[in-house]
């Protein structure tokens, strides 16, 4: 008599195909018009294409600022404008400011303390006001 054994089938885990992520935005009418005008100008037919390109541009700008690079627009005559975008500036490295050390003598510190404690010290001079304005 022959025994029949059943072989267990080892199945690969089911791989579920990734679904495309959905994105919905509630735009103010002016922003909606801007998006529609940009899409037309760039000859983009779908919001998906527009968003994909916008994300690519934003990702590039963020990576440039992370490296400490400035993003500059240059006109035909050489005039340059630096992009200042607060959200992107958050990723920029902190500027390295020069450090100056002043070795004060005890007498100089006392004199400075005396000057700073007077009433005149709380009011800026005309020279200081002009320097700040310029």
Token readout for 61 is: 């700008």
Measured CA to CA, the distance from residue 116 to residue 122 in angstroms comes to 8
Measured CA to CA, the distance from residue 86 to residue 6 in angstroms comes to 67
Measured CA to CA, the distance from residue 91 to residue 101 in angstroms comes to 29
Token readout for 134 is: 């310029």
What is the pLDDT at residue 31? 95
- Is residue 1's pLDDT more than 60? no
In the chain, % of residues over pLDDT 90: 53
Residue with tokens 């902190």: 94
Band of residue 126 on the pLDDT scale cut at 50, 70, 90: confident
Taking the whole predicted model, whether its pTM rises above 0.95 is answered as no
Write phi, then psi, for 72 (nearest 5 degrees).
-125, 140
In the chain, % of residues over pLDDT 70: 88
């Amino acid at each position: 008599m022959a025994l029949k054994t059943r072989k267990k089938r080892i199945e690969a885990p089911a791989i579920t195909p990734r679904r495309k992520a959905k994105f919905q935005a509630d735009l103010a009418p002016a922003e909606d018009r801007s998006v529609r005008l940009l899409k037309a100008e760039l000859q983009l037919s779908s919001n998906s294409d527009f968003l994909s390109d916008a994300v690519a541009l934003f990702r590039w700008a963020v990576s440039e600022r992370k490296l400490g690079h400035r993003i500059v627009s240059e006109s035909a005559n050489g005039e340059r404008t630096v992009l200042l975008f607060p959200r992107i500036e958050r990723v920029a490295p902190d500027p390295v400011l020069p450090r100056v050390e002043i070795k004060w003598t005890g007498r100089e510190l006392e004199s400075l303390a005396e000057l700073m404690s007077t009433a005149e010290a709380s009011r800026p001079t005309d020279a200081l006001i002009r320097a700040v304005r310029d």
